[in-house]
Chain A
Amino acid sequence: MATPLLSRARVQNALPVMALVVLTVIVGTIEPTFLAPANLLVVTADTMTLFLMASGVTFVIMLGCIDLSIQAVASMTSCIVAAMLAQYGFVAVPVAVLAGALSGLLSGYVYVVLRIPSFIATLAVSGVMTTVAYIASDTRSVPIPAEARDAWLFWATGRSLGVPHEIVVGLVVLVVLGGVLALTPFGRYVRAIGSQEQAVHASGIAVGRVKILAFALSGTMAGIAGVVMGARLGSGSPTLANEFLLPAIACVIVGGTAITGGVGSIWKTFIGALTIAVVRIGMTFLGVSVFAQQIVFGLILVAAVALTMDRSKVAVVK
């Protein structure tokens, strides 16, 4: 039995890529300089921090859960790295990322062990992390000295052979996390749990451990995103990553990962992140204010969820 050319699954798979191409062409028509290679490199580099955040949360969404703490975590790690870098050097980077991982672990623990729904658990952890950020930054924006940045954050903000390092970091994450999701037992379990958790449990898999790991990974990636964001902006701030939560989740969903869990990939999230970036730039060209842009992201999120959600799995939407 051949799959029909326009089966639902195929359309769902092809749609995100088609949307990206069409949107790129539209924006390129409005503003031809957009398609200049140098500009495309800059746009892609700008998108990578968003992709870093979205790549981690993809695992959580594939479980059928949500992580609302990522923007608070990213802000917090930007503060930690900014506050520590001049004095302690590169050690500040692993410390900041570790703080992100611990935050994710905490979310996972609250969700799995205390059995609190993930959106509440991560919302609560989000509040805690914002406070940590205020403490680390003494409630101010913390500048990163240029020499310290050039010495320790060149891996994130430099350029090699004309290619911004953000893109390299993004591609490494794409390959590594893509591989983790597609080729490791952990990734397989994440997909299986998102599809039918009870059967995975009954098959003898430590479901709770897999879930906690997924949240830790989400926190880790948000932590890395915060460090890269701080490096790019030259400062850390408790509100640095505000307004990133909605677009990050939109990236995952626009790419074709289902909010209901079980279906998705890191590659899809990568496509989703580029799509969101093109939309953002297109709106800027059209003169849509930064604040009004959130309306558009909200609409895109709703439309994408409507398209990708597996309604057979949730009889009642809550």
Chain B
Amino acid sequence: MSAPASLEVLGATKSFPGVLALDDVSLAIRRREVVGLIGENGAGKSTLLKVLNGIYQLDQGEVRVAGKPVQIRHPRDAFDHGIAMVFQEQSVFSTLSVAENIFLAREAEFLRGGLIDRRRLNEAARAELAKVHLDVDPRRRCAGLTFAERQMVEIAKALSLDTRIEGDITILLDEPTSMLEQREVDLLFEIVADLKDRASIVFISHRLDEVLEVADRVYVMRDGKVVHEVASRDATIPELHRHMVGRALHHEYYREARQAPGDGAAVLEVEGLTGRHGFRDVSFTLHAGEVLGIAGVVGSGREALARCLAGLEPPAAGTVRIDGRKVALASPSEAVARGIGFIPSERKTEGLVAGLSVAENMTLAALGRFTARGLIRVAEETKAAKSWIERLSIKTPSPATPVGSLSGGNQQKVVLAKWRIAGSRVVILDHPTRGIDVGAKEDVYTLVRDMTDEGLAVILLGDTLEEVIGLSSRILVMRDGRIEAELEAPPGGKPGQVDLIARMV
């Protein structure tokens, strides 16, 4: 450790009213090192990132780049010090070309006689794209790219710093894999390994196996502090879990013992269902008390199928029956009225209404039940909300709290409560644990078992294969819009990930 660390945080402390978000945090990212940063939501990772990106200022402590203290007051300052961030929520502009995105705000470097020299811009972009092995035309508009490609564009943009900055570059990857399928994750890891020649990398993720695979060293944060630091080769997942949650991970992570056999009455019968796009000729039967997992890569059609069943994208052909009665799935109103609840992967846009309170979100799909003579019975609404807040152990100051101020896991529970209150019989979970922390994930798993205990049927599009396998009693594997295989997954007789992957690709 002779050379100074490329990026160092010393005694960082940052408080907000009522919370100490960072409590004397010190960490160092050495040159050409991949560092994993893990912790539950609220552990302080995001705050630390925002400090490094100049969005928040520290109360105490300092940030050093190559051994020298620096002031980061604006994202631009971070950029100038060689710190680049690749956000979870992508910041690629879909109407601009790939090249324009990479060199956004740097157009001045490509001016000739007051106009942008497009040829030179595209050439430079091509060189940046080569660094991340992304083979797309720099003139293409980003709207047509896949999520993974857009992410690569963003990484290329971060990397383009090295043509501009003298010193070292540190790239902060915030949950880069949460939206990627396995194949894309593998590609990302190859690129990260490549990048080590050029930059230091901070890899922030909920997926510990991925962190261990890609990082040289791991920092664990909890309650605003760094509680553990370990070289990846010496670390084990259960140990990291223990440090993250401050207790040993439950043996029964997916509550398999509570898995129902799925021999209840048929609730949802799907026959020859074909979407306007994305999937064809899908047939299956869903029973009360069953968790039906659907596995598949991006483009396999499973997302489109889930949205179709939720009434969001009406089908082109086929029949769907709920309790033996046909349902057209022409609109979400129809689907909801017939007992289908949809927990979308885009929680903030389709799951919750940020401007409404916790209670108002919970009753949104069943407001009629809380209405008498045209007026909402607020007292009863609050009572119902309180009882669900307790049942699902939702952490909120009160039912009247704006739902936007809750943590991701608690927000997800509010969405769940909405469908429980609406009396849904079939609940579709589209990536229900995306972007929520380990503790909240376990809560969601418990809640899934609670639902099936009460005779609800669940369709699960898991965030990871492990999750699909662990929770489901039966798994459909989709490929190219069709059902490729159907596997039983009884407790103790679960198929392996390899079995599924082989059928997925």
Contact = CB atoms under 8 A, between A and B. Distances in A.
Instruction: Decide whether A and B assemble into one complex.
Output: yes
Interface of A: 1, 4, 179, 183-185, 188-189, 191-192, 194-196, 198-206, 262-263
Interface of B: 17-18, 310-312, 331-337, 342, 344, 348-356, 360, 364-365, 367-368, 371, 374-376, 378, 397, 418, 422
A202 B344 contact: yes
B101 to A, nearest CB: 16
30 contacts: A183-B375, A183-B378, A184-B374, A188-B356, A188-B360, A188-B367, A191-B355, A192-B364, A195-B354, A195-B355, A195-B356, A196-B349, A199-B352, A199-B353, A199-B364, A200-B353, A201-B332, A202-B332, A202-B351, A203-B332, A203-B336, A203-B364, A204-B331, A204-B332, A204-B334, A204-B422, A205-B332, A205-B333, A205-B364, A263-B355
Given A203-B365, A204-B331, A204-B336, 6 more contacts: A188-B367, A196-B352, A199-B351, A199-B353, A200-B364, A204-B334
A156 to B, nearest CB: 26
Given A1-B17, A196-B349, A204-B337, A179 B355 contact: no
A184 B17 contact: no
A188 B376 contact: yes
A311 B68 CA distance: 36
A199 B336 contact: no
A263 B422 CA distance: 25
A280 to B, nearest CB: 32
B360 A202 contact: no
Contact of B333 (A191, A206, A262): A206
| 4 closest cross-chain pairs (CB), A and B | A204-B336, A195-B355, A1-B18, A262-B355
A192 B333 CA distance: 16
A198 B349 CA distance: 6
Nearest to A194: B355
Given A183-B375, A188-B376, A199 B349 contact: yes
Contacts of B352: 196, 199
B350 A191 contact: no
By CB atoms of chain B within 10 A, which of A191, A202, A263 has the most? A202
B362 to A, nearest CB: 11
Nearest to B19: A1
A258 B195 CA distance: 46
A198 B376 contact: no
A265 to B, nearest CB: 13
A202 B352 CA distance: 9
B349 A185 contact: no
B305 to A, nearest CB: 16
Contacts of A205: 332-333, 364-365
Contacts of A179: 375
A188 B356 CA distance: 9
A201 B311 CA distance: 10
